[in-house]
């Protein structure tokens, strides 16, 4: 169960992280129709090729948000806890990305830069805490293998995100889908055991011990240990039919 939840969180965070980067790039790009005449060479190579301009300053500002996200998670991961940090980061990041995609055509550049900055901050925070939680949840015997397997599974999310976000879907549709994926990722993260203040692998071993305890309790219940009674138990030995 914990393994599946970890894989769900990893696939979700990879999909959301790379999808957010691609969405920010899509929002801050615009076809430069006025300067198309200056690109005769490109037009000769491909008649259907579009010349695109990017708002590099806005993209740079949103990219710098990862430094802020890393700094914030250092102070919050032990104060708010692993699970609360992940859930809040993915939920707030999904909301910011939804607002970015929904109002992408508004032309309000300061607002778009702000929500893209917030989205990148939350994505970085969530991914950092997911890495930490995975190492702390898994026991020593399977920590390296389990962490590598979760990282490999996450590549599937990173593989499919460009087809959704970088495709031909309208940005508003992309924003709605990405918000749903963020909510599913937060749900998977919320079901993981809290590891703050616990030894490495202790959270997973506690769940295994609890499962074993409940199984032993069921096996040792009065119904399971009640002696069987036969029809001949109350008949004197000399009166029994042979």
pLDDT tens series, the chain, 242 aa: 788 999 999 999 999 999 999 999 999 986 544 444 443 444 344 544 556 788 889 999 999 999 999 999 998 888 888 899 999 999 999 999 999 999 988 778 899 999 999 999 999 999 999 998 888 888 888 888 888 999 999 998 889 999 989 888 899 999 999 999 999 999 999 998 888 777 766 666 555 444 444 434 444 444 444 444 444 455 455 544 44
Q: Report d(CA 242, CA 235) in Å as an integer.
A: 13
Q: How confident is the model at residue 70, as a pLDDT?
A: 92
Nearest CA to 131 among 63, 205, 195, 204?
195
Report CA-CA distances (Å) from 172 to 11, 136, 187. 22, 37, 23
Q: Given CA atoms 54, 57, 58, 59 in this order, what sign does their dihedral have?
A: positive
Does the model's pTM come out above 0.85?
no
Residue 15: the pLDDT is: 95
Question: What SS3 state is found at 29?
Answer: strand
pLDDT at position 106, please?
79
With 0-12 CB in 10 A as exposed, 13-18 as middle and 19+ as buried, what is 85?
A: buried
3-state helix, strand, coil in the chain (%, to 5): 70, 0, 25
Q: How far apart are CA 142 and CA 235, in angstroms?
A: 58
- pLDDT recorded at residue 11: 93
């Amino acid at each position: 169960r914990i393994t599946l939840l970890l894989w769900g969180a990893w696939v979700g965070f990879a999909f959301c992280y790379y999808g957010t980067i691609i969405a920010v790039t899509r929002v801050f790009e615009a076809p430069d129709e006025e300067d198309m005449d200056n690109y005769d060479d490109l037009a000769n190579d491909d008649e259907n090729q579009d010349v695109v301009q990017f708002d590099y300053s806005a993209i740079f500002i949103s990219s710098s948000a990862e430094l802020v996200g890393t700094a914030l998670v250092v102070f919050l991961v032990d104060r708010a806890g692993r699970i609360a940090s992940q859930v809040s980061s993915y939920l707030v990041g999904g909301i910011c990305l939804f607002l970015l995609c929904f109002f992408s055509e508004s032309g309000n550049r300061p607002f778009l830069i702000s929500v893209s900055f917030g989205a990148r901050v939350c994505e970085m925070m969530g991914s950092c805490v997911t890495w930490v939680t995975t190492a702390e949840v898994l026991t020593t015997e399977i920590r390296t293998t389990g962490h590598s397997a979760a990282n490999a599974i996450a590549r599937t999310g990173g593989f499919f995100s460009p087809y959704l976000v970088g495709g031909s879907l309208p940005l508003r549709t992309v924003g709605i889908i990405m918000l749903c994926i963020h909510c599913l990722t937060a749900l998977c993260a919320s079901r993981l055991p809290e590891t703050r203040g616990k030894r490495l692998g202790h959270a997973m071993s506690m769940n295994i011990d609890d499962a074993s305890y409940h199984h032993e309790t069921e096996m040792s219940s009065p119904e399971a240990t009640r002696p069987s009674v036969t029809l001949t138990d109350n008949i004197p030995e000399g009166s029994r039919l042979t």
